[in-house]
Amino acid sequence: MRHALAPDPGLRFSSPREYATKLRSAQAATLAGSPDPAFSASLLESWQRSMALGINPEGHSPVHLHDVSEARVLGAGHRLASVIPLLSQMLGDESAAGRHLLVVTDHRGEVLWRVGSGTALRLADSLEFVEGADWSESGIGTNAISQALITGGPAQLFSAEHLVRTHHDWACTAAPIRDPLSGEILGVLDVSGPIDTVTPDSVRMVRCGVRLAEELLKSTGTASLPPSAPKVSGTVSTLFLRLLGDHPAAQIEGSPQLPITLRRAEILALMASRTQGWSAEELAYQVHGEDGAAATIRTEMHRIRSVLGPMVEPNPYRFSAGIHVVSDAALVAGHLRAGRLKEALAAYPARLLNRSTNLSVELMRDELNEAVASAVRFSGDANIISHWCSTDMGSHDIAAAAALTSLTGPGDSRSQLVRARMERIDRELRA
């Protein structure tokens, strides 16, 4: 016989609002100490774990592992990026009338993609159900995404089955997406919306989306790529840092290139500049000056390590012993040391972290630029000097322009081009 308090589960789809009202009363009774059989033992255990982690049922904001723009960058380099267009076409609804939201997280429950109408996205924004938010059990309490991660299977939570009461107007259906070869959970597919958007077919549709995503991963070969957080073993792995120009990135050997924010690129450039590592206090001073706080650096390093995993060690912060770190800036310097000037110029398309105003980075930038400039000026090669003067890095190099003139004479077209450019720059400076 069903408990007197337990709402009729048949109302879930036939009368969702009535069912939600009864379910809220059942949750209130349960949290007050009178468990209602409307909730399974596994769900009650999840509530207990969540509250033990500090989740407040009355209202709780999720942990934000990254800001929205950073999470979108992470999504672009994630293995599941290739299946998002398929899932969007199959389960997304971006029309003006669309009411549900398609969400895909990574293996930890961090939201990386959202697809939906403007209305659905705004409703999700009000719950901070956004890219970069942690929708695991520890991040926001019991929900369909967290249940899918914990159980490894599909989950559907309706209204007050969510622990946090601000989520009681929502129904969510989720299932993990696995690597077809290793079985490793790559992320979670979730469809969420107002309680009257859920149907008896919701679980079946999400399962179907997962199967198609896994088949696509298998057919495209992305199933066998290494996980986003690398495992450092006895084999030396290579981490390549792109630090020249305006678009810094990191790339783990065998994985797609991952764009990184300017601040994290500054930190990684500093880490690559010395082998003994940096304390949080030292990095705080280097990055933020006298006002720098070690806690701010620890937060940034937590985010860096969430991407690079054990490639970065704490206390002090340094690259792991089994990691071979290569940057494009270091390649330029290496060519110079070996006397390969043409190769150095070819590998030097832009200044080091061109948009950075950090003093330490500016010093490294100036050091590299002057090293290239000096080698060019003393090369005695008119073509090399002419090429250098035509670049952004060498466009203001008056000494190089003078060296070119002395080599070619004032009538040489290469000298005339450089002189014309110098005169234009001089006029702009005087204006």
The residues, any chain, with a CB within 8 Å of residue 43's CB and separated by 6 or more, are 142, 147, 161
- Mean pLDDT to the nearest integer, 76-96: 88
Position 267 scores a pLDDT of 95
- Helix (H/G/I), strand (E/B), else coil: 232: coil
Q: 237-327 in CATH: which number?
A: 1.10.10.10
**Relative orientation angle of helices 398-408 and 413-430, to the nearest 10 degrees:** 150
Residue among 186, 113, 132, 198 nearest 161 (CA):
198
- Comparing 9-13, 173-177, 212-216, 411-415, the range with the smallest average pLDDT is 411-415
| pLDDT higher than threshold 80 for residue 183 | yes
* Residue 161: C-alpha distances to residues 38, 128, 168, 197 (Å): 9, 19, 8, 16
Helix (H, G, I), strand (E, B) or coil at 248: coil
The CATH architecture annotation of domain 40-224 reads 2-Layer Sandwich (3.30)
Question: H helices of 316-397, where?
Answer: 328-337, 341-346, 359-377, 382-389
Amino acid sitting at position 93 = D
Percentage of the chain exceeding pLDDT 90: 46
Higher pLDDT, 31 or 2: 31
Secondary structure (3-state) at 191:
strand
Annotated domain spans of the chain: 40-224, 237-327, 356-430
pTM of the predicted model, to two decimals? 0.54
* Long-range pairs, 112-121, Cβ under 8 A, ≥24: 112/71, 112/72, 112/74, 112/75, 112/78, 112/80, 112/187, 113/75, 113/80, 113/84, 115/84, 115/87, 115/88, 115/91, 116/92, 117/93, 120/93, 120/193
Res. 117: pLDDT tops 70: yes
Mean pLDDT of the chain: 86
- What was the pLDDT predicted at 229? 42
Cα distance from N-terminal residue to C-terminal residue, the chain: 89
The tens digit of pLDDT for each residue in 94-109 reads 898 999 999 999 999 9
Inform me whether the pLDDT recorded for 422 exceeds 80. no
Report the pLDDT value the prediction gives residue 312, as an integer from 0 to 100: 87
Nearest alpha-carbon partner for 87 in 189, 180, 198:
189
Q: In the prediction, which pLDDT does 251 show?
A: 87
C-alpha span between 203 and 173 (Å, rounded) = 6
* pLDDT, average across residues 47-51: 92
